[in-house]
Copies of this chain bind each other. A is one copy, B any other.
Amino acid sequence: MAIEIISSKWAVVTLFALTDGPVRHGELAELIGGVSRKVLTQTLRRLQDNGLVERRAYAEAPPRVEYGLTELGRTLEEPIRKLTEWARTNGEAVVAFHEAAEDASDR
């Protein structure tokens, strides 16, 4: 099911972080925050295997490698933006509800 592709928190935030253009691995880790380099590498590999992200290596000294959205990856920009807007608007309400539910079950 294609929905599985984006059924990963890190995939969603990685795709979102790439919407402003290609970035290096280290910059991407900083943009995302709270992701280990290993998990980011795995996430990028999976997104590449699904044709959503491409790795671009430039023959410079020192060599430069950047990750960017493919044409197919860019088709996800709008759905991802909607999700991110939703999380920004309603995230707090969900977290508050979740905490209240946990408190109630502790009693």
Contacts and interface: CB of A to CB of B under 8 A. Distances in A.
Interface string A84-98: 111111111111011
Report how many copies the assembly holds: 2
A2 B97 contact: no
DSSP majority for the A interface?
Answer: helix
A83 B9 contact: no
Interface string A1-24: 111111111001100000000000
A9 B9 contact: no
A4 to B, nearest CB: 5
A93 B2 CA distance: 9
5 contacts: A3-B87, A6-B83, A7-B7, A72-B90, A82-B83
